[in-house]
Structure 1
Amino acid sequence: MAVYVAKRDAMELRVHENVDVLSTNLADYISELSEASIKERGAFTLALSGASIVTLMGKLCESPYKRTVDWAKWYVFFADERAIAKNHADSTCKQLRDTLLAKVPIDHSHVYSINDSVPVEQAAKDYEFVIRQLVKTRVISASEIHDCPKFDLVLLEMGPDGNVASLFPNHSALDLEEEWVTYITDSPEPPPERITFTLPVINSASNVTVVVTGVNNAEAARMAIDHESAGVPARMVSPVKGKLVWFLETAAASKLQSVQFSE
Structure 2
Amino acid sequence: MGKPPNLFAFQSASELAPSLRQYILEAQASALSRHGTFRVALSGGSLPKTLAQALLKETNGEGKVQWAKWEIFYADERAVPLDHADSNHKLVQEEILDKIPEGAGKPHVYPIDVKYLDDVQELADQYEKTLVSIFAQRDSVKLPMFDLLLLGCGPDGHTCSLFPGSPLLRESDAWVLQIPDSPKPPPKRITLSLPVVTHGIKIAFVATGGGKKDIMKQIFDTDEGRQLPCGLVNATGQERVSWFVDYPAIEGVSFPARRGSL
TM-score bin (small chain): 0.7 to 0.9
Aligned partner of 2:9 in structure 1 is: 15
Q: CA deviation at 1:51?
A: 2.8
1:45-66 CA distances to partner (integer Å, 9 max, x unpaired)?
0001113111111121122399
Aligned partner of 1:151 in structure 2 is: 146
Please give the secondary structure, in 2, of the residue aligned with 1:252.
helix
Aligned partner of 2:233 in structure 1 is: 237
Runs of 4+ in 1 over 6 A off after TM superposition: none
**Of 65, 81, 92, the match for 2:77:** 81
User: TM-score w.r.t. structure 2 length?
Assistant: 0.88
Which moves more between the two structures, 219-228 or 47-56?
Answer: 219-228
**Of 91, 107, 112, the match for 1:114:** 112
- CA pair 32-261 structure 1, distance change in 2 beyond 3 A: closer
1:204, 1:242 within 8 Å by CA — same for their partners in 2? Answer: no
Q: Which amino acid aligns with 2:220?
A: I
Aligned partner of 1:221 in structure 2 is: 216
Q: Which amino acid aligns with 1:201?
A: V
Q: CA deviation at 1:215?
A: 1.5
C-alpha RMSD of matched pairs (Å): 2.3
Q: CA deviation at 1:157?
A: 0.3
- 2:244 maps to 1:247: yes
Aligned partner of 2:196 in structure 1 is: 201
Equivalent positions of 1:1-263 (< 5 A) are: 9-59=3-53, 60-64=55-59, 68-104=64-100, 105-107=104-106, 110-118=108-116, 119-137=119-137, 147-229=142-224, 230-238=226-234, 239=236, 243-259=240-256, 261=258
Q: Which amino acid aligns with 2:249?
A: A
Q: Which amino acid aligns with 1:81?
A: E
Distance in 2 (alpha carbons) for counterparts of 1:258 and 1:241: 14
Q: Which amino acid aligns with 2:136?
A: K
Please give the secondary structure, in 1, of the residue aligned with 2:254.
coil
Q: Which amino acid aligns with 1:206?
A: I
**Comparing both structures, which one devotes a greater share of its residues to helix?**
2
- CA pair 262-17 structure 1, distance change in 2 beyond 3 A: closer
Please give the secondary structure, in 2, of the residue aligned with 1:29.
helix
2:13, 2:208 within 8 Å by CA — same for their partners in 1? Answer: yes
Q: CA deviation at 1:231?
A: 3.3
Q: Which amino acid aligns with 1:133?
A: S
Which moves more between the two structures, 54-63 or 156-165?
Answer: 54-63
Number of aligned pairs? 250
Gaps of 5+ in 2: none
Q: CA deviation at 1:111?
A: 0.4
Q: Which amino acid aligns with 1:159?
A: G
Please give the secondary structure, in 2, of the residue aligned with 1:117.
helix
Please give the secondary structure, in 1, of the residue aligned with 2:19.
helix
- CA pair 228-219 structure 1, distance change in 2 beyond 3 A: farther
Aligned partner of 1:3 in structure 2 is: none
